[in-house]
Amino acid sequence: MVVAAGSKFNLRRGNSGSCSSHNVVINDYNNNNNCDGEFSRINKSGCFSSMVDVVDKDSSCVSFTTFNILAPIYKRIDPQNQGLRESDFRSFWLARNQRILDSLLSESSSIMCLQEFWVGSEELVHMYEERLGDAGYQLIKLARTNNRGDGLLTAIHKEHLSVINYRELLFNDCGDRVAQLLHVQSVNPILQNQKDSVHQEFLIVNTHLLFPHDSSLSIVRLDQVYQILQYVELYQRENRLKPLPIILCGDWNGSKRGHVYKFLRSQGFVSSYDIANQYTDSFADAHKWVSHRNHRGNICGVDFIWLCNPNQTRKPLKTSWAEAVFSILKFQLRKVLLSEDDAFTFLKGDNCADSVKAFTFLKGNNCVDAVTYVRFSEALHQVKLIGVPYGLCFQQLQDLWNQADVDGNGVIDFEEFKQKIWNSTCSEHMLENINGCMENSNTGQEQEAIGFKVKNAMLFPREMEKGLWPEDYSLSDHARLTVVFSPAKMSRPSL
């Protein structure tokens, strides 16, 4: 069992299981603007080509599009009257979504992952089912919990891919967020040898994370991603899968400077758009592109297609998660200008007597200069990481404590505090290893895996790639991101 005891979700398989009281439920199932133009990019050889042409010229390529299409129930149409929404005006939302479909169909990606799909409108759902279905796509939709009205839609082109399995993740958290997990396989073999044919297999996740209305929600957003990765690991183990590429698509509602981004990087995931453009994780590169203008008028890059290849070395998931939580803790402490020494003093309590009262631990006649479990819990409560709705659960608190108390003596001394909390950073992989496309020459067939190499990527409208928001763009408040991957042989890391 991959998922630790106390984790926030249980599994429900098909319709046979009983309802769970845990947070996550997983269902198992065997205006006239020219916004529909073709994607194109000048490649490194100087040739001008469309994204469609890239796939057509190499039938083994797989293309992904992720797009938050802005549900009409959220689209404001009058700045002076925030209560007026596009959903109240059929001609408005109908015309805009027809243009969205024109745009998607012109791209003809193998896989489309849409967010803010208006599941509450039968007419809109039927329109997407009809037009995408006629174009050869299998559609799978998932509504957010508590009848929020919108949800996710994943469309798979049946000529290119077949769905082996499909799962739903219902977080049942304060944002009623959900995620889709699909296990797919290429219809046509990508390799042919004397014995058999090799088909590309991979896992896809489509999701839309909670919007960070304030910094206290960072832990909720991190937990959403943690649970996704926990379940991906569990699915792989339960189905005894060989190492496969994992693709995470969606609106992450956070930029390259955030805790979620760093957590995913520490788990071997790379931003495919940044790889295509040879951007690093540096502060300067973080602002070179945008994909969203939010309701506050801010522009930022929040839409990602993440890739983790089967040859990527990865820290244990729980270790990376703990590092990310400690990073949030440090951020919260730094907001009130606490130095390293001040932060340690805050964690261990204001005076020695309180520490001894909470946890008797003496060294000679002096109180040990260390953080006790009780004080650690109180500090996390004060910075709203526990003791609040959808904060860390008891088992997660235990996991954090076990990570920080390195020597297991029941307290966290200053050196442990510096190592595990104050100076802890999510490891970031080097750019030159980011594609994970090392050719396997001498390691033997049993060590080989088929992964993906980023072949091309593009944001539309094109101005987004320069960090600009075009004022005449009206399809959505998000850009459309499309990435083309080509299969690549690679060696798996030694176990």
Best mean pLDDT range from 1-15, 17-31, 128-142, 353-367? 128-142
State yes or no: pLDDT of 170 exceeds 90: yes
pLDDT one-digit tens code per residue, 416-469:
999 999 987 654 443 333 333 333 333 444 468 899 999 999 999 999 999 999
> What number does CATH give the domain 323-422?
1.10.238
Instruction: Please check the confidence at residue 48 and state whether its pLDDT lies above 50.
Output: no
Arithmetic mean of pLDDT, 315-335: 92
CATH superfamily of domain region 25-315+428-491: Endonuclease/exonuclease/phosphatase (3.60.10.10)
pTM, two decimals, is 0.84
Pick the more confident residue, 110 or 489: 110
Mean pLDDT along residues 325-349: 89
For the chain, the structural domain boundaries read 25-315+428-491, 323-422
Core vs surface per residue 230-268: b (16+ CB within 10 A) or e: bbbebbbeeeeeebbbbbbbbbbbbbbebbbbbbbbbbb
Are 25-315+428-491 and 323-422 equal in CATH topology? no
**Tens digits of residue pLDDT in 107-143:** 999 999 999 999 999 999 999 999 999 999 999 999 9
The rounded distance, in Å, linking the Cα atoms of 254 and 25 is: 24
Closest CA to 20 of 34, 35, 3: 3
